Amino acid sequence: MTTPVLDIHKILKKLPHRYPFLLVDRVIEFEKNVRIKALKNVTINEPFFGGHFPARPVMPGVLMLEALAQTAALLSFESSGVEPGEDTVVYFVGIDGARFKRPVEPGDQLVLEASLDRAKGGIYKYKTRATVDGETACEAELMCTMRKVT
């Protein structure tokens, strides 16, 4: 097994999200200012499965996008050397070309990948993809910005 670049304890220090909204379990690859690869283990205990859908549980696409955004935020925080506090967050500012290619079900391991496409004027654009067993589940271009909040 590969030693994680960021384990859950380090992720909790980097992202403000908490259960049930923290959607990244581990970072397994990282290249500063270039790319990141992370994991989300999808279990039947996820709170959304009770209603989406009771007869055939499927992870909502919007939550796959959120998991990709959290992965991109980790790339930003790790690359910039910024130690986020409670006053720093990464906000979505746009989503382009979102496509959903396969359902994600309990027991799947979602591999989350984000690569920095460009950074200009405080706006970061990422190419992102989520896969299960090498098969694309979701892909999108995400735009985010890092802001101090008071």
Q: Could you give the 3-state DSSP secondary structure of residue 103?
A: coil
CB–CB of 70/23 below 8 Å?
yes
> Quick check: is 2 in a domain?
no
**Residue 141: how many other CB atoms lie within 10 Å:** 14
The confidence band for 81, taking pLDDT boundaries of 50, 70 and 90, is: confident
Q: From CA 70, how far away is CA 142, in angstroms rounded? A: 11
Whether residue 102 is predicted with pLDDT greater than 80 in this model: the reply is yes
Nearest-5° angle of CA 68, CA 69, CA 71?
65
Of 19-23, 63-67, 121-125, which range is least confident? 121-125
Q: From CA 68, how far away is CA 21, in angstroms rounded? A: 13
Residue (of 130, 134, 129, 135) closest to 42 by Cα position: 130
Tally of domains in the chain: 1
Residue (of 53, 40, 50) closest to 108 by Cα position: 40
Identify the helix (H) or strand (E) that includes residue 140: strand 135-148
Whether residue 1 is predicted with pLDDT greater than 60 in this model: the reply is no
Supply the pLDDT for residue 147: 84
> Quick check: is 46 in a domain?
yes
Of 12-26, 82-96, 130-144, which range is least confident? 82-96
CATH number assigned to the domain comprising residue 74: 3.10.129.10
> Average pLDDT of the chain?
93
Beta bridge partners of 38: 27, 112
Whether residue 2 is predicted with pLDDT greater than 70 in this model: the reply is no
Range of the domain at 94: 8-148
> Quick check: is 12 in a domain?
yes
- Give mean pLDDT, residues 126-139: 98
What is the set of active-site residues? Answer: 52
Length of the chain (residues): 150
pTM recorded for the entire structure:
0.94
> Quick check: is 3 in a domain?
no
